[in-house]
């Protein structure tokens, strides 16, 4: 091959330089840091809707959506067209100038938060950055240090986000000292969670009996921690306590937001009003984008220059975000998530009832479904069986014991049926 052609292949279609999964994996293992975990030892070549294709041409029904990211499926034509058009027009401005896709997307996201007064948006690149933004906002505007987070939560890999993450001890080990003044309270599925929270809060008043708590940061549906849907009364209890303390209630909707629960934001689904909503993952169907949305009155208290981002609100990512929201509306994806979720939970519960020693619980909301098995080994076994049948399923939970389904919201009835058949057969095997 002449060197110029090799160069073009590497830039335009790198997967074409890997003839087999094994060859790609060998290069991966040499070139990439081993710290990044991987689920399946295949190299993806392309994707189309719910399907992923590896470099050998095998196809897989993807019930992972790249960890709850590909909301509109892989390479939805509307998203691809928006990205292509924007890539030709302008790739990047940073804060040097304003960019139109970011403005338009902020308006669209604001329109999805009827529970916020005059919403405004801050854009960054990822979920962890959205968390950092939320925590910094809370400390800056309240002038208090205290952060309440919850057991089992996953908020990301930066040092601040790691400090509020307890989904697995491994995520925190060896990184101390972590950010101070973080209190960890039980999540809402634990009996007497609010009483335990109150005890923690009581201990955090200063000499003049003023609270030192800036915010409570909560996933309205626990993601990595095991796909747990808390009682609404618990979320309402957090709201009441934040009101009493003058603290901000921050919903981390990085995983559960953007239609997955059957509403654009889970806050709406639960009818509980947060002060700040964090989003990332599914907002741009796979392009890197995150952010937070809050009322104008709150964001006006964050001084100019007190926070920022070079890439946040990148025009191409925002164009993908605009197309994502259009597809969600036009294809009624929130309704679809709710309906297919109910079908899935019903079928999986029926399948699980046949073997209650293996299947401890089936739970979820919308297209965010967790199947808690007896152990992490059981989950790994079922996952491998599904993989052998060409279906990709993730796991989560403290010991990896929860199989989780978070497919693209565009999955068709027939594709969902196929995935559920393979999964229920694997559970019964």
Catalytic residue set? 154, 252, 281
Q: Which residues contact 291 (CB under 8 A, 6 or more apart)?
A: 109, 121, 122, 123, 124, 130, 133, 278, 279, 280, 283, 312, 313
Place of tokens 């981390």: 252
> Which stretches of the chain bind ligand PLP, using CB under 6 A?
67, 126-128, 131, 154-156, 219, 223-224, 252, 254-255, 280
Q: Measured from the CB of residue 304, what is the shortest distance to ligand PLP in angstroms?
A: 25
Q: Which residues contact 169 (CB under 8 A, 6 or more apart)?
A: none
Residue 194 has which token pair?
Answer: 């609010």
Cβ proximity to ligand PLP: between 146 and 288 the closer is 288
The residue count for the chain: 429
Cβ proximity to ligand PLP: between 144 and 155 the closer is 155
Q: Measured from the CB of residue 68, what is the shortest distance to ligand PLP in angstroms?
A: 7
Cβ proximity to ligand PLP: between 24 and 133 the closer is 133
Cβ proximity to ligand PLP: between 18 and 403 the closer is 403
Q: Measured from the CB of residue 126, what is the shortest distance to ligand PLP in angstroms?
A: 4
Quick check: 305 and 121 in contact, CB under 8 A? no
Quick check: 123 and 109 in contact, CB under 8 A? no
Residue closest to ligand PLP (Cβ): 127
| DSSP conformation letters of 238-290 | HHHHHHHHT-EEEEE-TTTTTTTTSSSSHHHHHT---SEEEE-GGGGBTB--E
Measured in whole angstroms, how far is the alpha carbon of residue 51 from the centre of its chain? 20
Measured in whole angstroms, how far is the alpha carbon of residue 384 from the centre of its chain? 24
Cβ proximity to ligand PLP: between 113 and 126 the closer is 126
Q: Measured from the CB of residue 191, what is the shortest distance to ligand PLP in angstroms?
A: 24
Q: Measured from the CB of residue 409, what is the shortest distance to ligand PLP in angstroms?
A: 17
Q: Measured from the CB of residue 294, what is the shortest distance to ligand PLP in angstroms?
A: 17
Name which of 414, 423, 407, 417 is nearest 74 in CA terms: 407
Cβ proximity to ligand PLP: between 67 and 190 the closer is 67
> Whole-angstrom Cα distance, residue 287 to residue 413?
26
Helix residue ranges per DSSP H, 94-252: 100-110, 127-142, 159-163, 193-202, 232-245
């Amino acid at each position: 091959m002449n060197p110029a052609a090799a160069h073009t292949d590497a830039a335009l279609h790198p997967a074409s330089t890997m003839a087999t999964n094994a060859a790609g994996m060998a290069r991966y293992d040499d070139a990439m840091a081993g710290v990044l975990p991987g689920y399946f030892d295949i190299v993806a070549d392309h994707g189309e809707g719910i399907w992923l294709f590896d470099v050998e041409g095998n196809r897989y029904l993807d019930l992972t959506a790249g960890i709850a990211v590909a909301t509109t499926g892989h390479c939805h034509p509307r998203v691809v067209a928006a990205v292509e058009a924007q890539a030709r027009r302008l790739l990047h401005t940073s804060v040097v100038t304003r960019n139109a896709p970011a403005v338009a997307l902020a308006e669209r996201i604001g329109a999805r938060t009827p529970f916020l007064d005059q919403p405004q948006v801050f854009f960054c690149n990822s979920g962890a950055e959205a968390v950092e933004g939320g925590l910094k906002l809370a400390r800056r505007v309240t002038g208090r240090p205290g952060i309440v987070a919850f057991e089992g939560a996953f908020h990301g890999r930066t040092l601040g986000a790691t400090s509020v993450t307890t989904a697995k001890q491994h995520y925190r080990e060896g990184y101390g000292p972590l950010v101070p003044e973080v209190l960890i309270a039980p999540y809402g599925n634990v009996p007497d969670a609010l009483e335990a929270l109150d005890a923690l809060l009581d201990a955090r008043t200063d000499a003049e009996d003023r609270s030192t708590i800036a915010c409570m940061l909560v996933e309205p549906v626990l993601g990595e921690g095991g796909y747990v849907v808390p009682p609404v009364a618990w979320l309402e209890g957090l709201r009441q306590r934040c009101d009493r303390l003058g603290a901000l209630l921050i919903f981390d909707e990085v995983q559960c937001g953007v239609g997955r629960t059957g509403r654009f934001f889970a806050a709406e689904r639960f009818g509980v009003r947060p002060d700040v909503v964090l989003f990332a993952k599914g907002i741009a169907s796979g392009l890197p984008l995150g952010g937070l949305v809050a009322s104008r009155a709150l964001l006006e208290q964050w001084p100019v220059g007190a926070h920022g981002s070079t890439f946040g609100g990148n025009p191409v990512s925002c164009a993908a975000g605009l197309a994502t929201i259009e597809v969600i509306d036009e294809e009624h994806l929130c309704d679809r998530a709710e309906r297919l979720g109910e079908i899935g939970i019903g079928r999986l519960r029926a399948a699980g009832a046949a073997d209650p020693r293996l299947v401890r619980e089936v739970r979820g909301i919308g297209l965010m479904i967790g199947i808690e098995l007896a152990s992490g080994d059981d989950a790994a076994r079922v996952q491998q069986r599904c993989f052998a049948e060409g279906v990709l399923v993730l796991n989560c939970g403290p010991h990896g014991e929860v199989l989780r389904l978070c497919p693209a919201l565009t999955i068709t009835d027939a594709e969902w049926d196929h995935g559920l058949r393979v999964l229920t057969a694997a559970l019964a095997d």
